[in-house]
A and B are shown apart, each in its own frame.
Chain A
Amino acid sequence: MTADPGPAGYPPPDVVPADGPLPSATKLTERPHPLTPFIRGWVVLLALVISIGREFLPNGEGPRQLPPVEIILLGVAVLALGAAVAGYVSWRFTRFVIDADVLRVDTGAIFRRSVRVAFDKVQSIDVVQPFAARLFGLAELQIDVGSHERSKLRYLSLGRAYALRDYLLTRARGYQAEEATTTRSVSVLTDLHETDEVLVQVAPQTLLLAAVTSHEFWLIVLSGVLFVGVGLAIGQWWVLLAAGIPTISGLFGFVSRRVTGQFNYTLSRREHGLRIARGLTSLTSQSLPARRIQAAQLSQSPIWRLLGFYRIDIEVIGWGAVTDNEDTSGVSTILLPAGTWAQVQVALAAIWPRADFTTVQLSPAPQRARWLHPFSGPFLRWGHDQYLVVAQHGWLVRRWQLVPHARVQSVRITQGPVSRRLGLADLEFHTAGMHIAAHASGVDAEVVLERQAELMALLHHHSPDLSESGSAIGAPDSDNSGMAGGQAGPDALRADQAEATISSTE
């Protein structure tokens, strides 16, 4: 059904197939997979078993009074059954239509809710497979339209979920595509097929090594050692157990979260966008809308300096907080959980093909900045080119913040009384995200004065968007003559504009 979308009138009379399965229905609607209620009950059961089982583990507080086993089992059974019934009701009333004209999701038994989404407003689509769903080859489809609430379709068969995802992503880019109904041969562990270009892949060994050498790991170790040390110093031997066991289980949990959550991490490119697939027990495959990335932050733990590892977090509008729990199923803002310098460059080139932050000239903070930043002083640097602002901070954990000028909402220069004495100033770059607060500290005030006008002008310069590799939206108007430096030539620019007029997206 690739007919041109008719006027907004619903239903278009010619869409109903004469021999359709629902002749009285106005539209071919689909339901999630019938196993859905069962799986949702199972998820609740699993969660209960784990949380109750935890109570039986020694936690240094001695045995706790628990009700008899029969009552616990009965309670668990009732709750699981309740979840299954709730799942059944929600399944019964969830319908969706995804075809050439309409993307519509109806949910809710008591409060009916019908969400209809314009195809070109779809920002990203994620396919999430929690462990229980994975056992049955099912998956959840999450549709992000840029608002806070995502539409979730749970659960579909994996092949159908991937097919719908590919179709919606194609439509989101403004192409009138044939609806993909065939299921591709999909591996159980990854979401790749032949045409995909694998950009970055992180091996589980690397994840394991990176986890045990990360500063978070050593902070847990340090706090455990501190507790035990204090306990031994005051001659309380039981502290060894009381602090030792939680520390060890905490370390184990931390490492296993990092490894299973990001297992088989793969950043790949398909024709219409980037995608991250990861996970051991629950598999997540999320698409990455490069235009909505506001800022990126590289970080490096102390031991990683020797190993040459980096991690990249990104901030994306509408994705909420920067992820700190690696195991979370669903979207995560980790662009690279742990990787080498070469992988960092590949990953950044994938999201911002026009920009190259390694070529940005960075100027170190002057010697006198050590008065204000005694530890991080030697590492403080900042600089910018025509696309990016780069700021370095940090003492133990080193951070590089990268913000494209095109995403900066406003820029602020601040100077406190001490900075004024020292002839220093701080710069803040405000983006639509709140979690990576990009700033450059301890900058020479003279340099700021020199570059002030340039920095402010770059905010509103109409240069081609850095997340487009020259095949899409071009310069909206012609005032980029001063910035023709490292850009695509005039031919490419014309092609950009032609493309922009053909596909009237964004």
Chain B
Amino acid sequence: MTDLFTPAAAWQRLPDRYVTVRRLGALAYNLIAAVIVVLTVGFLVDWRWGGALAVAGLAWTGWRVYRAGRWVRTFGYAEREADLLITHGLWNKRLTAIPYGRMLSVNVESGPIDRAWGLARVELVTASVQSAGHVPGLQQAHAAALRDRLIAAGEAQALPL
């Protein structure tokens, strides 16, 4: 295995409790989606199809819950001198590099499940919608600190649009 997705840098990982949050999130969103689909199909088409979909939905939810721990352990971010690196993914691995100079703004968000565990998610916004510079599941204090560091670096190294 090459280190294509983790070049030499000070990599930081997500806190362990984010695994729980991600499991709960997967459970909640998948179950809600599955219930809606199953009920719709059941009423409109046939309950046998609905039952099959329910099994599939449960299996998918179980799979996501099972994989959540490994997914979180693949996630890493590194603040380098001039850019932020983000890597994640089990099957589809990806590594994104975003120069601080391209930063337009930095968002910190936390949903209800995040808040219950004292976590927050940081997003580095650039002029491109594809950049997707998200770092989920940081402790709230760390998230705020990361935001401030990103803003400071972005202001110091601003690049023209």
Contact = CB atoms under 8 A, between A and B. Distances in A.
A is bound by B: yes
A417 B93 CA distance: 8
B29 interface: no
Interface stretch (B20-28, B32-40, B96-104, B135-143): B96-104
Interface in B58-98: 82-83, 89, 91-98
Interface residues of B, number: 31
B131 A430 contact: yes
Given A420-B93, A430-B128, A465-B160, A413 B99 contact: no
Contact of B92 (A410, A411, A415, A452): A415
A434 to B, nearest CB: 6
Contacts of B99: 410, 456, 459-460
Nearest to A453: B7
Contacts of B95: 412-414
Contacts of B133: 410
A168 B128 CA distance: 29
Interface string A433-475: 0100100000001101100110111011010010000000000
A410 B96 contact: yes
Main SS class of interface, B = loop
Contacts of A413: 4-5, 94-96
Interface in A363-413: 406, 409-413
A446 B3 CA distance: 10
B159 A412 contact: no
Contact of B130 (A437, A448, A456, A457): A437
Interface in B1-52: 2-5, 7
Nearest to A431: B128
A434 B131 CA distance: 11
Interface residues of A, number: 35
Contact of B4 (A415, A428, A456): A415
A506 B159 CA distance: 12
B161 A432 contact: yes
A414 B94 contact: yes
Nearest to B126: A409
12 contacts: A406-B159, A409-B98, A409-B102, A409-B126, A409-B127, A411-B97, A416-B92, A425-B4, A449-B2, A456-B97, A459-B83, A476-B160
Interface of B: 2-5, 7, 82-83, 89, 91-102, 126-131, 133, 157, 159-161
